Every structure is written in C-alpha cells, then in structure tokens.
Chains A and B, each alone.
Chain A
Amino acid sequence: MIESAATFAFACFALAMLMNLWKVVTAPDVADRILALDTMFINAIALMVLYGMALGTEIFFEAAMIIAMLGFVSTVAYARFILRGNIIE
C-alpha cells in the first residue's frame, strides 16, 4: 500500500516540477518566473524527502534542509534585485 502511494506521490511531484519548468520558460513577466522557481524548489524538497523515505535513510533530510534554505535565500535575493537593483545595500 505504501509503495503504490509513494509511487503516486512521486509521479505527482515530478509532473508538478515539469509544469513549473514549463512556466519558467513561458512566463510573461519576471514575477511569474520567480514564483515558478520558488515552487520548483519546494517540489524538489518534497521529491528529496520521498526519495529518502523510499530508501529508508536519514541522509536526505540534511540535503532537503539545505535546499529549503537555498530556495528561500535565492528567491528573496532575486526579488530584491528586481525591487532595488541591489541585493545588500
């Protein structure tokens, strides 16, 4: 039961990442592109935690935590660059 549920979740998040990639390529404005990249980061965290669960190891949680922090910092840096033309003033 868990195997089929995990396969379903893998498929859902993989499809979600493909849709985000499509949005990154075809977005009309830069705000949409930042949003799609941020969503991609979140979906990557979900995929990573799922993979760690499937393998039964704890190793991937550190990676997921680092990806979460990188995603937040890069999104804020990008938005700040658009807003102020500078990241650290």
Chain B
Amino acid sequence: METLFEFLVAAFLVTAGIFGIVGSYGLIKLNDQMSRLHAPTKATTLGVGGVLLASMLHAAAFEKYFSYHELMITLFLFLTAPITANFIAKVHIHRQETRATMPEAGGDDHWATHDTPEDEERRHAEQTPPAED
C-alpha cells in the first residue's frame, strides 16, 4: 500500500513538472499572440493541479493528516484562469486589432473594447430625447 501511494505521488509530480515546463516553453515558442495565450492558461494550470493533488496524497498517506487547503487553491486557480485569459485577450483586441479586422459584432456596429467617448456620447444623444426649450 505504501509503495502504491509512493508511486502515485511520484507519477503526479512528474506529470505536473512536464505540464508546467511545456506551458512555459509554449509561451516562448508559439508565434501568434493568441496561440501563446493557450499554453500557460491550460498546460500550466494543469501542472499546478498535479502538484496540488500530489501534495494532498502525500499529506494523507505519509504525514497522517488530511489537508484540504490544496483543494481551495485548485478551485481558486481553476476559477480565475479563464477570467485572466479573457482579460488578456481583451488587451490584445484593444491594442492589436482595429474595428476593420474584427468579425461582426451582431446587433451593434463595433465591439465594446473599441468603444470611444465619442461613441458613448452619440449613443447617449440618440437614446435621450432632445430637451424642449
């Protein structure tokens, strides 16, 4: 039983290390900015998840206490990784793309990231009826 747990913890650690280094290598290697976004958000999150699982197993099998802090960290990371990825993609749209290079925005004529104060004023003037003198 001891050997089985030892093997499991070692396997989780090795997989996590490989995923972590693949994620960071992809950040250097990939050419396009939006492809580069894939590597850290997926591979590195999985790598950290592996380390946390290994740590939980290690605490339960060898240190004789059950530790649930790792679950909290895993949950937090899995919740926040898509949000940060979304924000970074928005920064990319804001700085690299123009209104012409973006796909159709459905009912509106442009995406909210490209909104300027002039657009906002124009919309506001269209929505509110002109004041009567």
Task: Check B52 against A49 for contact (C-beta < 8 Å).
Answer: yes
State how many residues of chain A have any CB contact under 8 Å with chain B. Answer: 49
Task: Check A35 against B88 for contact (C-beta < 8 Å).
Answer: yes
Interface residues of A (CB under 8 A from B): 1-2, 4-6, 8-9, 11-13, 15-17, 19-20, 22-23, 29-32, 34-36, 38-39, 42-43, 45-46, 49-50, 52-53, 56, 58, 61-62, 64-65, 68-69, 72, 75-76, 79-80, 82-83
Given A29-B33, A49-B55: A61 in contact with B73 (beta carbons within 8 A): yes
Interface residues of B (CB under 8 A from A): 6-7, 9-11, 13-14, 16-18, 20-21, 23-25, 27-28, 33, 36-37, 40, 44-45, 47-48, 51-52, 54-55, 58-59, 63, 65, 67, 69-70, 72-73, 76-77, 80, 83-84, 87-88, 90-92, 94-96, 113
B73 to chain A, nearest CB (A): 6
How far is A38 from B39 in the complex, measured between Cα atoms in Å?
Answer: 12
Given A35-B88, A45-B73: A2 in contact with B27 (beta carbons within 8 A): no
Q: Which of A29, A49, A72, A79 contacts B70 (CB 8 A)?
A: A49
Q: Contacts of A72 on B, CB cut-off 8 Å?
A: 76, 80, 83-84
Task: Check A31 against B24 for contact (C-beta < 8 Å).
Answer: no
B10: nearest residue on chain A (CB-CB)? A5
Given A19-B24, A50-B51: A58 in contact with B69 (beta carbons within 8 A): yes
Q: Which of B18, B33, B47, B58 contacts A32 (CB 8 A)?
A: B33
Task: Check B95 against A42 for contact (C-beta < 8 Å).
Answer: no
20 further contact pairs, Cβ within 8 A, besides A1-B6, A2-B10, A12-B16: A1-B10, A2-B58, A8-B14, A15-B21, A16-B20, A23-B28, A29-B92, A31-B92, A34-B88, A35-B36, A35-B37, A36-B27, A39-B27, A46-B51, A58-B67, A68-B76, A72-B84, A82-B91, A83-B90, A83-B94
